[in-house]
């Protein structure tokens, strides 16, 4: 939900229960409260996954390569609907076959700038429909990559975002690469 140009996020407790909402601009700092987010990995017809490089203007982890897209559902918005909305906004893509693979994923990461990501973050996979046309404020670069190369990057631990570094082995264990 955007009100007067402000995006809102859902605050949650340790069990994932909604306990309130706050403006996104006021949530991410050195003591970020736990909130609801999502990650998504989009595959093309050739089985390659879309990796994106975060725009340099992003508050957390600017310029870092990561999964296809991330975001926050608005208060009252279903998480799958938020994934579809953000794929359109960030990448200009539609999604087919969207499925939640890691419903209980949670992480905490501190960016080099000291801003904390503290999220319950279900992880989705789907098929990209159309050609990527990223929004420059969100994505500075993108590449369609073989899944095994993404797994190798995650093993290095520094080549992609901290959340993707944690998510990729879990997705791989769930057979995501084999199903791409």
CB 72 within 8 A of CB 40: no
Tell me whether residue 151 is one of the annotated catalytic residues. Answer: no
Is 20 strand, coil or helix?
A: strand
- Cα 113 to the chain's mean position, in Å? 19
Please name every residue paired with 54 in a beta bridge, in sequence order, or none if there are none. Answer: 139
Can you tell me the distance from the alpha carbon of 72 to that of 82, in angstroms, rounded to the nearest whole number?
7
Which of 90, 117, 119, 166 is catalytic? The answer is 119
Which of 70, 90, 121, 138 is catalytic? The answer is 70
Can you tell me the distance from the alpha carbon of 79 to that of 124, in angstroms, rounded to the nearest whole number?
10
Is 172 strand, coil or helix?
A: helix
Tell me whether residue 97 is one of the annotated catalytic residues. Answer: no
CB 123 within 8 A of CB 171: yes
Catalytically active residues are 70, 119
């Amino acid at each position: 939900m955007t009100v007067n140009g402000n995006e809102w996020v859902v605050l949650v407790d340790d069990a994932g229960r909604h306990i309130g909402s706050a403006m996104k601009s006021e949530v991410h700092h050195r003591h970020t409260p736990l909130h609801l987010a999502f990650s998504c990995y989009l595959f093309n017809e050739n089985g390659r996954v879309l990796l994106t490089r975060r725009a340099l203007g992003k508050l957390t982890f600017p310029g870092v390569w990561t999964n296809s897209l991330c975001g926050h559902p608005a208060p009252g918005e279903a998480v799958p609907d938020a994934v579809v909305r953000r794929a359109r906004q960030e990448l200009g893509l539609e999604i087919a076959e969207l499925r939640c693979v890691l419903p209980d994923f949670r992480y905490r990461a501190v960016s080099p700038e000291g801003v904390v990501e503290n999220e319950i973050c279900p992880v989705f996979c789907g098929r990209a429909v159309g050609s990527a046309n990223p929004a420059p404020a969100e994505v500075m670069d993108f590449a369609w990559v073989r899944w095994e190369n993404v797994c190798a990057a995650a093993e290095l631990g520094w080549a992609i975002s901290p959340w993707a570094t944690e998510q990729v082995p879990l997705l791989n264990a769930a057979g995501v690469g084999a199903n791409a």
